[in-house]
Amino acid sequence: MLGIWDYTVVLTYCSLLSAVTGILVSLDGHGHPYIGVMFLLLCGLCDTFDGRVARSKKNRTKKEKDFGVQIDSLSDLVAFGVLPVCVGMAMYKRTMFDETMSVTPNTVLFSIPVAVLILISAVFVLAALVRLAYFNITVEETQGEGLGDKKHYFGLPVTTTALIFPTFMLLRYTLLLCNFDIGFLYYIILIIVAILFVMKFKLKKPGTLMIYFMVFIGAIEFFAVVLLKIFVR
């Protein structure tokens, strides 16, 4: 059988499966952006620990290491590049449906041509692709995204989308309860994040405590989305 199927790649595969499921579910019907966000958070959780699980295996061969690097980047492109833009389009579809059903007030989002939203989404995915491809060709030299500096990233890692967009969507949901929609800002954030993906600036890598803190924040956001969907709408 082609590929590697041991425990070192399980979390990476789970991240990809979560991402694909999130894409399909979020775009289904009238759009389910908050369900998509839940799967994005799951992708972030898997990505947080997949590297540690892979490195726990002693005496990994070069082939196993190279395979892990490649599938991690491919999975990240789907999870943190494609899924966030699908959440954005699902939000647009859902807002259009709610507007038709007179559930939400008029929103600035509808004043933006769909072609512009699609273009922004495509540029975002392209920026994520360029960053991950650049990471792949430099990984042997740098042992990560630090470009020779193991304590820093250069540019914004794509995995940060697992916290950025769920946080925004929770804020939007809260404001919607007050009949105020900031959905259009999602696409402005997409543009900003896309630029930060490919900009060459130093960003200190989080320590172990900060990583666990971010996991904790992600868990709170996940359950907050679940509770909102169950008890609010």
72-81: per-residue pLDDT in tens?
Answer: 999 999 999 9
Q: For the segment 123-135, what is each residue's pLDDT rounded down to a tens digit?
A: 999 999 999 999 8
pLDDT of residue 20 exceeding 90, the answer is yes
CA angle at 166 for the pair 205 and 41, rounded to the nearest 5°: 70
Question: What is the rounded distance in angstroms from the CA atom of residue 202 to the CA atom of residue 151?
Answer: 9
**What's the mean per-residue pLDDT of the chain?**
87
Question: Is residue 48 helix, strand or coil?
Answer: helix
pLDDT bucket at 145, cuts 50 / 70 / 90: very low
CA trace torsion 101, 224, 22, 122 (10° rounding): 80
Quick one: CATH architecture of 7-231? Up-down Bundle (1.20)
The pLDDT of residue 100: 55
Considering only residues 43 and 202, tell me which one the structure prediction assigns the higher pLDDT: 43
Percent of the chain with pLDDT over 70: 90
pLDDT bucket at 136, cuts 50 / 70 / 90: confident
* Sequence-ordered list of residues with C-beta below 8 angstroms from that of 114, at least 6 positions apart, any chain: 92
Contact 13, 204 (CB under 8 A): no
Residue 116 backbone dihedrals phi, psi, to 5 degrees: -70, -40
pTM listed for this prediction: 0.89
Question: What is the rounded distance in angstroms from the CA atom of residue 200 to the CA atom of residue 9?
Answer: 30
pLDDT bucket at 144, cuts 50 / 70 / 90: very low
What's the burial of 148, exposed, middle or buried (CB within 10 Å: 0-12/13-18/19+)? Answer: exposed
Element (H, E) at 51: helix 33-55
Considering only residues 228 and 145, tell me which one the structure prediction assigns the higher pLDDT: 228
Going from N- to C-terminal start, the domains of the chain cover 7-231
Q: How many angstroms separate the Cα of 136 from the Cα of each of 96, 130, 178, 225? A: 39, 10, 45, 34
Q: For the segment 156-185, what is each residue's pLDDT rounded down to a tens digit?
A: 999 999 999 999 999 998 888 788 888 899
What's the burial of 138, exposed, middle or buried (CB within 10 Å: 0-12/13-18/19+)? Answer: middle
The pLDDT of residue 104: 54
